[in-house]
Structure 1
Amino acid sequence: MKKVSNSIIQQLQIVFSFSILLLFFSLLASYYSTQKLINNSELVNHTNKVLIEAEAIMSHMKDAETGQRGFLITSDPQFLKPYEGAYEKTTDSYNSLVELDLRQPRAAEKPP
């Protein structure tokens, strides 16, 4: 067997060191990308919760409007049940919406 020269060993060490360094930078980039993805997912989840609460408020208001309209047309107090319950439900949904906004105010500040 021939002896491997020192220059070949040095070249292999340089290539190996460069490969390790490249893998390390790739690891850091992957970690940073994953963290950004997690943060963005949390913001999306928060936005979805806000949209759900806003839709709930609109639904409760429609129920109240429908109940009021039914009562005005028929004078039947049975139609007031959705109207009477809508205020409490709307208030609860509004308070949940305000709480969501206070929990994560940066979601409103950060543009998409």
Structure 2
Amino acid sequence: MLRLPQIIRNLFLRLEGLFGVLFQTISNLVGNFFGFFAKLFGFTSSGYFLESDQAQAIKQASAKQPIEKAQDNTAKIPATNRRRSNAKIDDYYLNMARDVKKN
């Protein structure tokens, strides 16, 4: 490998690592800043986006109703598909193998 492309690749890898560390630190600072205000206004409570208990009780009661299943009256026939013997094809390949063996 030529030295110049190797040096350029290593330089870009090191710059990428440096920017990754710097931007991770900056993103953590921004996240902590907005996280403080989210906690202050109560956006982090788990029940904030949930519906009221009364609406959830109605949904749970309606979901518990049994579902009727229609019975299938058709007779179940077991599928047993046997392969036909391919005697003609088998004989053809056996004869071909014998001819090759003879020659």
Query: Normalising by structure 1, what TM-score?
Result: 0.35
Which structure features the higher share of helix residues?
A: 1
Structure of larger gyration radius: 2
